[in-house]
Amino acid sequence: MTPSSLPLFFTVVLANVVFGRPSQTPSLSTPGANVVAKDIFILAGQSNMAGRGGVHGGKWDGNIPPGCKPHPSILRFSAKHKWEVAKEPLHADIDVKKICGIGPGMPFANEVLANVSKTRVVGLVPCAIGGTRMTKWARGTPLYARLVHRANESLREGGAIRGLLWFHGESDTESRIDAEAYKDRMETFINDLRSDLNVPNLPVIQVVTPSGDKKFMDTVRRAQKEVNLPDVWWVDARGLNMKSDDHMHLTTISQVHLGRNMARVFLASYGPSSPHT
């Protein structure tokens, strides 16, 4: 399979489409008149997915850029398993041991909504937890069980799971063993999740971790790009701005750029005008 790239509206990041082929994965087709269809996306991984944009000194600054504004057609599945209008921070009641801010989820949802039928609803299911290695997401662990449970519960009022947004890997750059095992562990995780959710071609949009000073960063970045499964795509976060106070988490504006580019990768393959639809 040969990597290809999508044209971008921003020059700060290159959204590279590397794996994937036409499949029977449900697409964002336009529903019939007077029908509201819920397209559900799981948000998982660690702190950058949970959102640290705008968090400084243990407090979130409350700044919500236009790309993260609430919309009545963007819903969030709460920790209490209730659908509600989504608003930042999306993971406030999920990643409860940390202060959450802006992540890529709302920019993704707003970009998707802007390019599909207005009779649709985008549903977000936050599941990310900061500081978690890949082994913490393996089948049989509490985090994996919680993700599957929340995803299944989100379907009770209708809708379909359209994709997994995955931003992870920083914690696995600290150990050679974890870094070198990342590709195999990620492929196992995806296969297990597709099986347990009964969505065999579940699209996965994963973020290739930004640059950093961890010893095995390049090993993990390479592993993320080499995941060899159908309907798995990656967006490279290298070049996006990091917060100056920790040099590990993306700034608010970088999260907006990232979320939009993840949406463009998804829409290029599964949107209303995509070749797969």
Catalytic status, residue 29: no
Within a domain: 7: no
Within a domain: 175: yes
Of 39, 47, 91, 95, the active-site residue reads 47
Query: Which of 256, 207, 209, 251 shows the shortest CA–CA distance to 232?
Result: 207
273: which 2 tokens? 């005008």
Using one digit for the tens of pLDDT, what is the confidence trace for 45-88? 999 999 999 999 999 999 999 999 999 999 999 999 999 999 99
- Residue 133 CB neighbour total at 10 angstroms: 18
Residue 29 predicted with pLDDT over 70: no
Of the listed ranges 3-12, 76-85, 105-114, the one predicted with least confidence: 3-12
Task: Provide mean pLDDT across the span 249-265.
Answer: 97
∠124-221-101 over CA atoms, to 5°?
Answer: 35
* pLDDT score, position 260: 98
CA–chain centroid gap for 101, Å, is 15
Using one digit for the tens of pLDDT, what is the confidence trace for 192-215? 999 999 999 999 999 999 976 778
**Residue 19 and residue 241 in contact, taking contact as beta carbons nearer than 8 Å:** no
At residue 90 the predicted structure's pLDDT band, cuts being 50, 70 and 90, is very high
Within a domain: 127: yes
Residue 254 predicted with pLDDT over 50: yes
* pLDDT score, position 51: 97
Catalytic status, residue 5: no
Question: What is the share, in percent, of the chain residues with pLDDT greater than 90?
Answer: 78
* pLDDT score, position 71: 96
d(CA 156, CA 107): 25
Residue 10 predicted with pLDDT over 70: no
Task: Provide mean pLDDT across the span 15-21.
Answer: 35
Of 249, 254, 269, 276, the active-site residue reads 249
At residue 116 the predicted structure's pLDDT band, cuts being 50, 70 and 90, is confident
Residue 21 predicted with pLDDT over 70: no
Within a domain: 26: no
| Longest Cα–Cα distance in the chain | 55
At residue 31 the predicted structure's pLDDT band, cuts being 50, 70 and 90, is very low
Using one digit for the tens of pLDDT, what is the confidence trace for 224-253? 999 999 999 999 999 999 998 888 899 999
Q: Is the dihedral of CA 211, 216, 219, 223 positive or negative?
A: negative
Of 61, 93, 245, 246, the active-site residue reads 245
> For residue 227, what are the domain limits?
36-270
Q: List the CATH number of the domain containing 195.
A: 3.40.50.1110
- Residue 88 CB neighbour total at 10 angstroms: 26
Residue 25 predicted with pLDDT over 70: no
Within a domain: 5: no
* Of the ranges 7-11, 31-35, 74-78, the best mean pLDDT one: 74-78
**Is 35 or 143 the better-scoring residue by pLDDT?**
143
**Is 211 or 179 the better-scoring residue by pLDDT?**
179
Residue 28 predicted with pLDDT over 70: no
* pLDDT score, position 1: 35
CA–chain centroid gap for 33, Å, is 30
The per-residue b/e assignment along 25-35, b for 16 or more CB within 10 angstroms, e otherwise, is bbbbeeeeeee
At residue 30 the predicted structure's pLDDT band, cuts being 50, 70 and 90, is very low
Within a domain: 238: yes
Residue 13 predicted with pLDDT over 90: no
- CA distances (Å), 110 to each of 27, 80, 260, in order? 17, 24, 8
3-state secondary structure 96-127: CCCCCCECCHHHHHHHHHCCCCCCEEEEEEEC
At residue 37 the predicted structure's pLDDT band, cuts being 50, 70 and 90, is confident
The number of distinct structural domains making up the chain is 1
Catalytic status, residue 245: yes
* pLDDT score, position 27: 57
Within a domain: 8: no
